[in-house]
Every structure is written in structure tokens, then in C-alpha cells.
Amino acid sequence: MPSESTRILGIETSCDETAAAVVENGRSIRSNIVASQAALHAQYGGVFPEAASRRHIETIYSVVAEALAAAHAGLEAIDAIAVTRGPGLAGSLVVGMNMAKGMALASNLPILGVNHLEAHLYSIWLVEAEPEPKFPLLALIVSGGHTELILMLDHQKYQRLGGTLDDAAGESFDKVARLLGLAYPGGPAIQAAAENGDPTAYKFPRAWLEGTWNFSFSGLKSAVVREVRKRQPELEAGVEAPRPGLPIADIAASFQAAAVEVLVGKTLAAAKDFKAKEILVGGGVSANRPLREAFQAKATLPVRTPPLELCTDNAAMTAAVGHRRFLAGQRDALDMDVLPTWLLDGV
Ligand code: KG4
Ligand code: ZN
């Protein structure tokens, strides 16, 4: 007899997307609604936390209602509510958490707090057409807030190998984009500008941090700042528009090449060292085309990246983790707090 299907409602408000989704059996997306705040934050050149939480408050109800309607599901068809508990902006996390708690209380459904980094990895499980990845996996999470190398031994079993010591990979894309007068979010803007540039035009530094699995991107960003200031000595990051004549395409391409080389190089080395069977790359920066291409060109083992719409923040991946936790019989209490600095580690 086929086992009954399980439907999880996911809610995600860790940063600047208000998102809700319904996922069946941990792999099948029934609905996936994302309300992006990118236009709101573009005027600040980055995420403005107070504005983010207020916008989440205005948007969360309609996003959740839309996710349920699009899945043709009332709450009676839902088995549990999964909500991002951390890491992320405290004021933003609280909005999704309180929405989930209210719904769980009113409908007597179980609530499951989800680690947002783990959710980025589970976006891979939402690619239904592909077989499930094989453990042990080497995972690279590259987003606006994180750059983490993690050994995934099994479901819910993680060993954190290292992470960034300063800027996250996505943060460095955003900062360099701002310096070059490009739009927020900076990752897609840098990628687009770099298409017309020469990635070998500037020899920007690669921070290999030999002997560790850590990353550092602040030196690379400072090298770009120095290059720009050679032409515009008075330029303060983001304060004034870059002058006409600044070789934006070459700088963007050279910066991107340096970031990609280190991310790919260290991930492949870690995968070899820890005898991983596959590599997973998740988080907003995993949408970067040169990064995806470099992985495919250099890896001798399978590298999986989510489809573009699942690279950046969404609630389907939150629901996918919720499904795992639900199956394992885990439940959280209605007085759980958000965990803004929650890293993925431990077995
Ligand atoms: O995972 P995400 O949506 O939010 C966080 O959890 O941080 O990642 C957002 C980050 C931003 O820094 C954005 O610039 C970056 O992902 N990003 C990209 C690309 N698309 C988004 N970075 C490089 N290339 C891209 N195509
Ligand atoms: Zn994220």
C-alpha cells in the first residue's frame, strides 16, 4: 500500500525575501511564493534591517495565504509548519516565527524550527527528477550572509569544516558592485557587467588560507577599492557615482574570477580530502554562472547546484528540511526563540 503523503507549509523571513511554500513528501513543490524586497533595499545599497522586518510584517499574511491557495490546500491538508529559526536578521526572523506560531496554535499543527543553511542544502532535494544525493557530501553554502564548507555525513549530520573569517562571498559581490555603481543585489549585476570584461585584466589576490578550510574576501574587496581609488582618489564606497571611463567590466570580471577560483579550489580540495561522493553548492551565489561552470569543468565527482529559482531564499527549501524533521519525529515548542547566529554543525 503506498504510504500517505506528507505536506509541509514552509515559512521563510530570514533576510529580505518574504516567502511561503507547500512541499509534499520533502521533494515535490506544490507552491512556492517569494515576495522580494530587493527594490526596497536597492536605495540603501544593501539590506536595511528595520525596513526589512516592517516589510515582512506587511507581506507575510498575504504570502502565506497565496502559498496555501496556489497549492489548493487549506490548513487541514497540512501536516506541520516549518519556519526558519536562524541564522538571519533577528527582527526579520521573528516575523516568520510569530506567523508560524500563531498558525500552529490556532490549527493545532506541529511547528518545526529550521536552520536556514541546512535549507539551502535541501534545495537540491527539491529537484525531483534527479536521484537523491549520496553521502558523505561536501557542501559549500555561499550566500549574502555566509560562506561555509560543511561535510554532510547523513541527513541532519553535519561537520563544519570552515567558513569566512570576514565578508561572506555574496557580501563581497554586493560591496564591490556598490563601489562600481552597479545595482543591488550586486551578484547578478557583477555577473552581467563581467560578461563584457577580461577576467585576467587585474591580478586581484586569492586568499587560499592554506592548512584551513576558511575563506577571506576582505583582502580581495580592498584590492578592488585600491584599484578604483587609483582613478578616483576621493571615492568613498557608495558615496558618489563612479566616473565615466572606469573599466567596470574588467574590474568586475577580474574580481569574479578571483572569488570563483578560491571557492571552487577549496571546495574541490576538501571534497578530495574527506572522500566525499558528491558536492552540493547552495545559497544565492550558487546562481553565479561562472561559478557553476568552473565547478562542472574542474570537478571529477558530481557537483549539484539548485535550479536558479531555488538558489536564492525561498520557503520550499525550508519545508524540505521540515519534512525531514517531521519524519524523524522531531517537534519544537511554541516558546522556541529565533537563533540569529545559528551555524550548521554537530551530529
Ligand atoms: O541566499 P541568499 O538569497 O540570501 C542569504 O541568505 O544571504 O543570497 C543572496 C546573495 C546576495 O549577496 C546576492 O548578491 C548573491 O546572493 N547572488 C549572486 C548571484 N545571484 C545572487 N552572487 C553572484 N552571482 C549571482 N548570479
Ligand atoms: Zn539564504
CATH number at residue 105: 3.30.420.40
Cell of 235: 571615492
CB of 188 within 6 A of ligand 1: the answer is yes
pLDDT digits (tens, 9 = 90+) for 13-65: 999 999 999 999 999 999 999 999 989 998 887 889 999 999 999 999 999 99
> Is residue 336 domain-resident?
no
Segment holding 99, helix H or strand E: helix 90-107
Helix 186-194, helix 289-298: angle, nearest 10 = 70
Answer whether 53's CB lies under 8 Å from 17's CB.
Answer: no
Residue 333 lies inside a defined structural domain of this protein: no
User: Residue 3's pLDDT is what?
Assistant: 54
Nearest partner of 283 among 171, 162, 205, judged by Cα = 171
191 within ligand 1 shell (Cβ under 6 A): yes
Let me know whether 195 and 273 are in one domain: yes
Q: Are residues 95 and 162 in the same domain?
A: no
What is the per-residue pLDDT for 229? 85
CA distance to 3, 80, 133, 321, per residue, from 83 (Å): 25, 10, 24, 10
| Shared domain check, 232 and 298 | yes
Looking at ligand 1, which atom is closest to the CA of residue 283? Answer: 1
Residue 64 lies in a domain: yes
Q: Which atom of ligand 1 is nearest to the CA of 88?
A: 6
138/160 Cα distance (integer angstroms):
10
Q: Is 321 contained in some domain?
A: yes
Hey, whose CA ends up nearest to atom 26 of ligand 1?
A: 288
Question: Residue 296 domain-assigned?
Answer: yes
Per-residue pLDDT tens over the stretch 307-322: 999 999 999 999 999 9
Quick check: is 278 in a domain? yes
Q: Is residue 80 part of a domain?
A: yes
Question: Do residues 114 and 148 share a domain?
Answer: no
CB atoms within 10 A of CB 105: 11
CB count within 10 Å of CB 209 equals: 15
Beta bridge partners of 29: 23
Task: List the one residue out of 274, 281, 273, 271 whose CA is nearest residue 301.
Answer: 271
Mean pLDDT across the chain:
94
Tens of pLDDT, residue by residue over 61-86, are 999 999 999 999 899 999 999 999 99
Question: Quick check: helix, strand or coil at residue 115?
Answer: strand
How far is the centre of ligand 1, averaged over its atoms, from the C-alpha of 271 (Å)? 23
Q: Which residues of 249-277 are buried (b: 16+ CB within 10 A; e: fewer)?
A: bbbbbbbbbbbbbbbbebbbebbeebebe
Say whether both 300 and 155 belong to one domain: yes
Whether residue 177 sits in one domain with residue 40: no
Which residue blocks in 135-285 are alpha helix, DSSP H?
169-179, 186-194, 218-231, 248-273
User: Which amino acid is residue 256, in one-letter code?
Assistant: Q
Q: Does residue 202 sit in the same domain as residue 112? A: no
Give the mutation target among 173, 288, 291 for probing the ligand 1 site: most ligand atoms within 8 A of CB: 173
Angle subtended by helix axes 49-70 and 90-107, to nearest 10: 30
* All cell numbers assigned to 277: 561522493
Closest Cα to residue 191, out of 51, 291, 123? 291
Based on the domain organization, do 315 and 300 belong to the same domain? no
Residue 238 has pLDDT above 70, yes or no: no
The C-alpha cell of 103 is what? 498558525
CA-closest candidate to residue 147, choices 282, 46, 20: 282
Instruction: State the DSSP string of 275-315.
Output: T-SEEEEESGGGG-HHHHHHHHHH-SS-EE---HHHHS--S
Total structural domains in the chain? 2
Task: Tell me if 123 sits within 8 A of 314, measured CB to CB.
Answer: yes
Do 112 and 163 fall into the same domain? no
More confident residue, 291 or 4: 291
Ligand 1 pocket test, pick from 285, 293, 310, 314 with the greatest ligand atom count within 8 Å of Cβ, gives 285
Pairing relationship of beta strands 80-86 and 111-115 according to DSSP bridges? parallel
Give the residue numbers spanning the domain of 270. Answer: 137-305
pLDDT at 1: 39
Q: At residue 226, does pLDDT exceed 80?
A: yes
Is the peptide bond prior to 136 cis by the omega test (within 30 degrees of 0)? yes
For residues 157 and 280, membership in a common domain is answered with yes
More reliable by pLDDT, 163 or 184: 163
Same domain, 172 and 200: yes
> CA-CA distance, 292 to 312, in Å (whole number)?
15
Q: Do the bridges between strand 80-86 and strand 7-12 make them parallel or antiparallel, or are there none, so unpaired?
A: parallel
Residue 337 lies in a domain: no
Q: Are residues 208 and 293 in the same domain?
A: yes
